Amino acid sequence: MMTKADARSSLISLLRGVEHFNSEVFPEKKELFSRLAEGQSPHTLLIACADSRVTPDLITQQDPGNLFIVRNVGNIVPAYGEALGGVSSAIEYGVMALKVSHIIICGHSNCGAMTALCSPDPSKLDAMPTVRTWLKNAEAARAVAGALNSEDGGPPSVQSMSEQNVLLQIAHLRTHPSVAAALAREELIIQGWFYDIGTGEVLVLDEKTRKSISINEAIRQLDAGVPTT
């Protein structure tokens, strides 16, 4: 557990970081921030887990203003009408107001939410009733991961659960009217990703085959004009 001294030290570290940003980083990108001060036009809505180890801007090497980021426990997208709130409003705003061209849902390795779903003891979440209720939006992923893993006779891995959860959340995403309309107009591309924290590798998940491909293969397919989701 963090002590008061540790908490004070970490807060000072944050403030020192702001100092460095103001004195070193900001001046180097002053023109960029000057443009961003007038408004935003991100090309991608990226829905990721709230896990502190997942850093979308760093992973994708994007400047500020390129990504419209939504983060929550388990990178979950409730089906439209199930839990209208922050996630739903961000999707609607991103698609209708910001006119994003892509929506990416990114799961990751060692995900606490997916680990909880894999656990045979659901009582572990009894002390966190809000989290337990939120994760009901990922229950179907447990059923799919379990079915696909039935030949092994064991519980699904956290990676398998994370990947199936991404595919489930893409299915939920398609129920949102703004998304459905943009897809019908062929103005939007949806992709699912799995990020391995330990290796830095990102895999692209295929909705139809429920398999993953490498970034290089995904780029090759795009260059070749292979239809995307």
Please report the pLDDT score of residue 154 as a whole number: 55
pTM score, two decimals?
Answer: 0.92
Please report the pLDDT score of residue 143 as a whole number: 86
Angle, to 10 degrees, between the axis of helix 86-96 and the axis of helix 177-184? 30
* pLDDT tens-digit series, residues 43-85: 999 999 999 999 999 999 999 999 999 999 999 999 998 777 8
Positive or negative: CA dihedral 162, 167, 173, 179: positive
**Distance in angstroms (rounded) separating the CA atoms of residues 25 and 46:** 24
SS3 85: coil
pLDDT greater at residue 220 or residue 155: 220
**Distance in angstroms (rounded) separating the CA atoms of residues 42 and 68:** 6
Please report the pLDDT score of residue 211 as a whole number: 87
According to DSSP, the β-strands at 212-214 and 102-108 are unpaired
Please report the pLDDT score of residue 61 as a whole number: 97
Mean pLDDT (whole number) for 20-32: 97
Give me the chain's average pLDDT, please: 92
- pLDDT score of 163 more than 80: yes
- pLDDT score of 121 more than 80: no
Please report the pLDDT score of residue 149 as a whole number: 65
Mean pLDDT (whole number) for 117-123: 78
- pLDDT score of 123 more than 80: no
Q: Are 205 and 193 in contact (CB under 8 A)?
A: yes
Residue appearing with tokens 């849902």: 105
What is the band of 119 on the pLDDT scale with cuts at 50, 70, 90?
confident
Please report the pLDDT score of residue 151 as a whole number: 55
Per DSSP, helices labelled H in the chain are 4-20, 26-28, 30-36, 56-60, 86-96, 112-118, 129-134, 139-148, 158-173, 177-184, 215-223
What is the band of 147 on the pLDDT scale with cuts at 50, 70, 90?
confident
Q: Which H or E run includes 175?
A: none
**Distance in angstroms (rounded) separating the CA atoms of residues 129 and 48:** 22
What is the secondary structure of 119-168 as a DSSP string?
Answer: -S-GGGGTT-HHHHHHGGGGHHHHHHHHHHTGGGTSPPPHHHHHHHHHHH
**Distance in angstroms (rounded) separating the CA atoms of residues 85 and 114:** 22
pLDDT greater at residue 120 or residue 94: 94
What is the band of 184 on the pLDDT scale with cuts at 50, 70, 90?
very high
Please report the pLDDT score of residue 191 as a whole number: 97
Please report the pLDDT score of residue 174 as a whole number: 97
